[in-house]
Structure 1
């Protein structure tokens, strides 16, 4: 970026931060950011069309692994354009993931001028933690799908042949990966509420029985197999992350108590419904400064 453009961008960010940017300029800024994000996503979409079939084969792999060597694990289409549309769909999602740094930066560049320095640090930390958590959940879902197919599909001795429609199978697998990835973001949400001062570590610890029960209920609903092993594995992973968040929340609450004590305002011992004590001792008021007497204002008629 040239020095002139860099200077203009810094001036625009400063106007957005101090609230001096007009509404129409905000709208134009949003339009430009969305256009750049769309162009980045389109470049990613075009680049990933060549790899769409490889991604489809990767998603098919849990199904292919169920067949002994020599058997045909191929799937079928219901319509002549289904495979072509599926490749476009795969390229679109893969392009969004590939171009994520571009459109995430554009969103961040539009939102960041309105955030304080502390809020920006939190945002960086949450984005850095959310990505590996989502990938961990999606990876676990990919493994669970392989176990689920072995249970759900008919065996070699059953009077039903195995034949899956490709589009429905792909949607089924990717839905599971999305659900598991979002579920792994729940501990991050709990930590965010603690950092914002909405939920304390004591409350998180007090709710652990209810939260663990909800984790097992959620796992029983979303896992594709009725066996207890896959369900228990997902619930244990979520529960361990939740208890890890409780430990981090205790450290954060301890840090805030220490900071309040240094500032002379420790409210950690007060209940949620208990008001803090107020100091009613009056403070001395300084003598008022003298005010000049008003001067008469000459009317316009007098000057004629």
Structure 2
């Protein structure tokens, strides 16, 4: 393909991904009043009464809006995040479909697995962030101590929750990158094995910088599963490299199709020196 053809295909892939994102976001914008908004507010509403705004009624759970367009932007943020997550299988497939033509036949088989695993990991990361959100809020807001009145604005809470969900979701994708690089032959198991300690250390540093709360509880909640996923990625790389080594040992031309000729050297080889079979003279 020419450069223009590549750019045209990239434009078409991006357009399809954006169209899917816009459609799903529109559906989530309507869904906000039918359960999505309550789902987002649930971790905050589960806090003790002294850590949330009740307006005199203990059964209430409210977030403050301090400007006219605050409610619109909140709804758009939540709808966009939900749309990005729910449409991720489609736009991840578009990304992989653009990269696939430059890969070998055996590398293309990982497309469906890549989309499925990456979507699952992002969902698991976001789910873990949602589960730990209430505990993190209770820890952070409880540090304010007595004599303070806590009333979070909707902008602050929604922004904090979205940042946490995205941070956890993206962080769970990082070990998958190591597996993908190993599958295409860029990163070997030996390199990962020798760098295991550094990987675990940098994972903790990464979690400390990425988590929006900057508290040890959230950092450990993110770093712990990431370390487990990285160890799993190392073991996957070990299995892949062993299988690749066995396959290379059995067949030297495994990348060729059944109807392709093997690259044999057709040049004539030199003949062995003639052996002198005449009887040796007796002296």
Within 5 Å, which residues of 2 pair with 1:282-297?
Answer: 284=268
1:97 & 1:240 partners in 2: Cα distance?
23
Report the Cα distance in structure 1 between the residues aligned to 2:143 and 2:96, rounded to whole angstroms: 51
Structure 2-normalised TM-score?
0.74
- Is 1:224 the counterpart of 2:213? The answer is yes
TM-score (structure 1 length as normaliser): 0.70
Tell me the distance in 2 between the aligned counterparts of 1:216 and 1:109. Answer: 33
Answering whether residue 46 of structure 2 is matched by residue 48 of structure 1, we say: no
- Measured against aligned partners, the alpha-carbon deviations of 1:243-283 in whole angstroms (never above 9, x if no partner) come to 22222111111111112212369xxxxxxxxxxxxxxxxx5
1-side partners of 2:191 and 2:98: how far apart? Answer: 35
Q: Which runs of 5+ in 2 are unaligned?
A: 50-56, 254-266, 271-283
What is the total number of aligned residue pairs between the two structures? Answer: 249
Give 2:114's aligned residue: 126
Is it true that 1:57 corresponds to 2:46 in the alignment?
no
Establish whether residue 165 from structure 1 lines up as the match of residue 146 from structure 2.
no
**Alpha-carbon deviations, 1:79-106, whole Å to 9, x = none?**
0111022212322333344444554555
Aligned to 1:93, the other structure's residue is in SS state helix
Q: Deviations over 1:101-147 (max 9, x none)?
A: 55455555555455443232122222121111111111111122211
Q: How far, CA to CA, are the matches of 1:219 and 1:42 in structure 2? A: 31
Question: What is residue 264 of structure 2 aligned with on the other side?
Answer: none
Q: CA RMSD in A?
A: 3.2
**2:63 and 2:154 in contact (8 A); partners too:** yes
Pick from 229, 242, 267 the counterpart of residue 254 of structure 1. 242
- Say whether residues 1:93 and 2:81 are aligned partners: yes
Q: Aligned with 1:153: secondary structure?
A: helix
Shift of 1:58: 1.4
Aligned residue in 1 for 2:224: 236
Deviates more, 1:231-240 or 1:132-141: 231-240
Within a 5 Å distance, the mapping from 1:170-185 to structure 2 comes to 170-185=158-173
